[in-house]
Structures are given as structure tokens and as C-alpha cells.
Structure 1
């Protein structure tokens, strides 16, 4: 199964279990984000991410260059709950 097929199946399963009003909120929020032009500013797949610094779970500043010095870096973003 391709990634596109897996993502499609996940969307269908999510739509089947979420109440219509929550789906509408999520769709509206997604469309609001698209209208901001955010998709024109994302880093394309395969391109190196610009250097950045973020706070870790304890508030300590962590620089991406420092992390990359130890090897490959993987970032995960969690949207939280709606």
C-alpha cells in the first residue's frame, strides 16, 4: 500500500469516528491555514531545514546545529487536541 493510500485510509477512518461538528471545525481550521499562504513558505521535501533554536521540555534552549553534530535529526510536531 502506498503512503497516499495509507493517508487516505487514515482520513476515512478518522471521518467515520469523529462527530460532524468536530470535522467541520478541523476542516475550517485547515482551510484558514491554507489561506494564510503558509504552503508557499514551507521547506520542500528533501531540502535541508534552516538552522533553528527551540525550547525543550524544561525550557532550555536547544540549537539544531548542536543536535546535528551528533548525527541525523528527526523532528515531530504534534497538533494537540481540537
Structure 2
């Protein structure tokens, strides 16, 4: 009986066969942005005393700022016209 090995599927683990430098990963995260969220609950004897929900957006200013006008679009319209 002959068995053949299946080719690895990149959908299973996309980083398994392609090394990614930390600088490249940080560049991609800052360019597109990422949201980090979490919940912290402090409880004693199964009684919730404090619950904190955290949500942080990590992105570069360039990724969040609206695109600036280029010289091709002309000056903005004057007020009152």
C-alpha cells in the first residue's frame, strides 16, 4: 500500500512556513491598527466585587488621520460663497 503525504495547508497555520520579523509585524499592526480588549473581574467567594472592561486601539496616527488634500484638487471653497 502506498501512502502520499498531503501538502501543508497554509490556512491551518499561516505563519508555520514563513518566518516574520518582529519589525514587519509591528509595521503591519501600526499601518492597519488593532483593537485589544479584555475583562478583569475581582471576586471573593464567588461574589464579583470589581469588574473592569478594557479596550485599546493601537494604530499609527497616519492610519487614523483622514487623507490630506493634494495639489490636484484645488483650493477649498471660500466661506459664504
TM-score tier (shorter): under 0.3
Q: Which has the higher helix share?
A: 1
Structure exhibiting the larger radius of gyration computed from Cα positions:
2
Question: What TM-score comes out, normalization by structure 2 length?
Answer: 0.23
User: Structure 1 length normalisation: TM-score?
Assistant: 0.23
Relative contact order higher in (CA < 8 Å, ≥ 6 apart): 2
